[in-house]
Amino acid sequence: MDERHFTTLSAEKYITSSCAISKGVVLKDGERLFENDGANAAAFMVSVYQHFQVSYPKFYKMDNLGKLGLLTSEILLKNSFNKEQYQPEKVGLVLANKNSSLDDDIKYWDSVKDIASPSLFVYTLPNIVIGEICIRNGFKGEHAFYIQQNFDADFIANQVNYLVDNDILDACICGWADFLEQEYKAVFFLVEKKTNGSSVVFSSGNMNNVFNK
Amino acid sequence: MSAPVYIVGLGVISGIGNNVAEHLASFEQAKAGMGDITTLNTIHKRQLPVAEVKLSNEQLVATTGLPERSSRTALLSYVAAREALDDAGIPNLNSLRVGFVSANTVGGMDKSEDFYVQFHADNNKGKLRNIFDHECGSMTEIVADQLGIGDFITTVSTACSSSANSIFYGARLIRNDMLDVVVAGGVDSLTKLTLNGFNTLMILDKEFCKPFDENRAGLNLGEGAGYVVMVSDKVRSMLAKQPYCVISGYNNSNDAYHQTASSPDGTGSYMAMKGALDKAGLQPSDIDYINLHGTGTLNNDSAEGTAIKRLFDPEYPPVSSTKSFTGHTLGASGGVEAVFSVLAIKNQIIYPNLRFETQMSELPFKPETRFMKNQHIKHVMSNSFGFGGNCTSLIFSAV
């Protein structure tokens, strides 16, 4: 509620959807939609893909970070986002993580000892996950990927506020996507200038509430 | 009708020459720049041909007056940018708003690689000054300082379309009356990073490359720099010389398909070429020559060729890839080939596509293989397509 005082000069922004995937659990808007705690990290990604009946064969070519980000965005947007309401140039992404593309970097480096793998090489950048989400959805707006020790909700909020308040974006997916070996965590927020039944005001506090759940 | 942007100066250095005159001679003599690796310290010596600039760092330092520790990237950039600015011969440059828009993709990586070898062996070793100018922007700043340009400086880095985008951007700065003069183009030097990266992608030909040939097997890396000097109408009227041409069209479009591959139908390439024609107010039939991106990889030439077919069929202008001479100079290629495109108009010539033997089965056209003089060249299209789907076409037109 107090956040309203700080945003009176600019458009109100709301978190109209959130999705978190970590430790074998998928949460959408705080609700547990899927659980599979027996699987290893890579197998878990495939089980999420199958459970939610995502139909995008390119998924199988992606590195783990790409798979995690794609699945989180799919579940985030499903039944929550009407992309017809937006110009492709007005939908963007701001993501961050701790381990960059290290999960894939290590696999690539292992491959170099034998024959360097082109398919691993092309994922040795953290922001590829943003490209995958944009290609999947036809988004063409501004995007950025930051590498930070911890999820910094204030920083992310500043970035998104700047983009939306300056009319650079009308909708933004923001949050965290990190993958290293068996450890993975993604928490995405859909930020729009409108409310819906489950929306909360876009603020660092409300992002932290979801992130730390 | 928006304000014209005139090209009045050219500078280029690559594996086939250290200046414009040497390039024209190499083209006429069909002299390619590829050979065994000599300057780069790599395990791929004698395995992979590259087109190196035929000057050592020591020679480049002596020529440019830059410090001995300079990255080869900055050294090559200065040689070509200096030539372009001297060629333009703009009087009272200090009284004008002058910009330097320079592209590159490797920055000071050559020096960083030297540092890394020592540092990796012993964390107390390695000269930190070797990584001080690691970033792409450092190259631009070093060269701008040496050129005495300070009004506006920026660096573009969009993979292999980098330099074309810096020319595109520079033209807009003049068109919108933000600057009077822009030196625009780009540079890249050969590094282990790029050689190993492209080798990993399995798109390097172990022989000299054969762009747009049915039996092409990949690209050869090159290095170099190319710059054009662009001026406003006001500045042009102050010059004693005639402008070479105008930049009449430009467009940047993205495939949004794959990190390192073009979409099979060349969607981004098609949109870039079509957009540049629309910007220039020209029809495909107005184009007298296309300087192809033409890397020699299976993927690029097929996608680019398909896009050309879609846009130009059934009448094709002469096309050729000058990468058959210079190799693929990556971030420099758009600038290097913009210089060639302008020279095609100035000298009414078309460059040969070397080593071409067999027409690609899916294309109804083939590249020009002869050096052609006395051609009627009014409009030239220059294609530069980069990783990340970043596709740019420029159109240069006779005045």
Q: Are residue B41 and residue B188 in the same domain, yes or no?
A: yes
* A chain contacts of residue B197, beta-carbon cutoff 8 Å: 121
Q: Are residue B136 and residue B225 in the same domain, yes or no?
A: yes
The pLDDT of residue A128 is 96
Q: Answer whether A116 touches B (CB < 8 Å).
A: yes
Torsion of CA A31, A92, A90, A132, to 10 degrees: -90
Residue A5 pLDDT exceeds 80:
no
Q: Count of domains in chain B?
A: 2
Give the C-alpha separation, B74 to B78, whole Å: 6
The pLDDT of residue B275 is 98
Give the burial class of B314: count Cβ atoms within 10 A of its Cβ; 0-12 exposed, 13-18 middle, 19 or more buried.
exposed
> For residue range A144-177, what is the model confidence (pLDDT) as tens digits?
999 999 999 999 999 999 999 999 999 999 999 9
**Which one-letter DSSP state was computed for residue B283?**
-
- Give the confidence band of A197 by pLDDT, cuts at 50, 70, 90: confident
Identify whether B44 is a catalytic site residue: no
Q: Count of domains in chain A?
A: 1
| Beta pairing class for A31-35 and B181-188 | unpaired
- Give the confidence band of A8 by pLDDT, cuts at 50, 70, 90: very low
> For residue range A107-158, what is the model confidence (pLDDT) as tens digits?
999 999 999 999 999 999 999 999 999 999 999 999 999 999 999 999 999 9
Is position B33 within any domain?
A: yes
Instruction: Look up the domain containing B38 and give its range.
Output: 6-236
The pLDDT of residue A157 is 98
3-state secondary structure of A119: helix
Domain end point (choices B236, B260, B281): B236
For residue B223, give both structure tokens: 């290095």
Identify whether B293 is a catalytic site residue: yes
Q: Answer whether A121 touches B (CB < 8 Å).
A: yes
3-state secondary structure of A190: strand
Is position B92 within any domain?
A: yes
Instruction: Look up the domain containing A49 and give its range.
Output: 3-211
Beta bridge partners of B181: B98, B231
Give the start-end residues of each E strand in A61-115. Answer: 91-97
- Where chain B has pLDDT below 70, the residues are 1
Q: Are residue B117 and residue B214 in the same domain, yes or no?
A: yes
The pLDDT of residue B145 is 98
Identify whether B120 is a catalytic site residue: no
Q: Answer whether A134 touches B (CB < 8 Å).
A: yes
Mention every residue, 6+ apart, whose C-beta is less than 8 A from residue B40.
B50, B52, B190, B191, B192, B195
| Contact call for B260 and A122, based on CB within 8 A | yes
Q: Are residue B209 and residue B286 in the same domain, yes or no?
A: no
Is position B1 within any domain?
A: no
Q: Answer whether B200 touches A (CB < 8 Å).
A: yes
Give the C-alpha separation, B124 to B56, whole Å: 29
The string of DSSP letters for B178-222 reads S-SEEEEEEEE---HHHHHHHHHTT-B-SSS--TTBTT---B-EE
Q: Are residue B77 and residue B121 in the same domain, yes or no?
A: yes
Q: Are residue B288 and residue B219 in the same domain, yes or no?
A: no
Q: Are residue B281 and residue B370 in the same domain, yes or no?
A: yes
Q: Are residue B131 and residue B251 in the same domain, yes or no?
A: no
* A chain contacts of residue B44, beta-carbon cutoff 8 Å: none
The pLDDT of residue B243 is 98
The enclosing domain of B214 has a CATH number of 3.40.47.10
3-state secondary structure of B12: strand
Q: Are residue B215 and residue B252 in the same domain, yes or no?
A: no
Residues B377 and B288 sit within 8 Å (Cβ to Cβ): yes
Task: Name the residue among A119, A111, A60, A97 with its Cα closest to residue A180.
Answer: A97
Beta bridge partners of A97: A147
Q: Answer whether B258 touches A (CB < 8 Å).
A: yes
pTM of this prediction? 0.93
Check B136, B160, B245, B391 and give the catalytic one: B160
Count of CB atoms situated within 10 Å of the CB of B117 = 13
Give the nearest chain A residue to B197 (CA atoms): A121
| In the block, residue with structure tokens 């993604």 | A186
* A chain contacts of residue B202, beta-carbon cutoff 8 Å: 118
**Which one-letter DSSP state was computed for residue B243?**
P
Q: Are residue B351 and residue B253 in the same domain, yes or no?
A: yes
Q: Are residue B273 and residue B299 in the same domain, yes or no?
A: yes
- What sign has the CA pseudo-torsion B167, B282, B276, B307? negative
- Give the confidence band of A19 by pLDDT, cuts at 50, 70, 90: very high
Q: How many residues does chain B have?
A: 399
Between A112, A117, A122, which is nearest B259 by CB?
Answer: A122
Domain end point (choices B173, B205, B236): B236
Check B136, B209, B328, B391 and give the catalytic one: B328
Q: Are residue B230 and residue B277 in the same domain, yes or no?
A: no
- Give the confidence band of A9 by pLDDT, cuts at 50, 70, 90: low
Give the C-alpha separation, B200 to B223, whole Å: 19
Q: How many residues does chain A have?
A: 213
Domain end point (choices B236, B269, B288): B236
Residue A1 pLDDT exceeds 70:
no
Between A121, A128, A134, which is nearest B201 by CB?
Answer: A121
- Give the confidence band of A213 by pLDDT, cuts at 50, 70, 90: confident
The pLDDT of residue A2 is 45
Between A116, A123, A128, which is nearest B200 by CB?
Answer: A116
Check B136, B293, B379, B391 and give the catalytic one: B293
The enclosing domain of A110 has a CATH number of 3.40.47.10
- Determine the distance from the C-alpha atom of residue B131 to the mean position of all C-alpha atoms in its chain, rounded to a whole number: 25
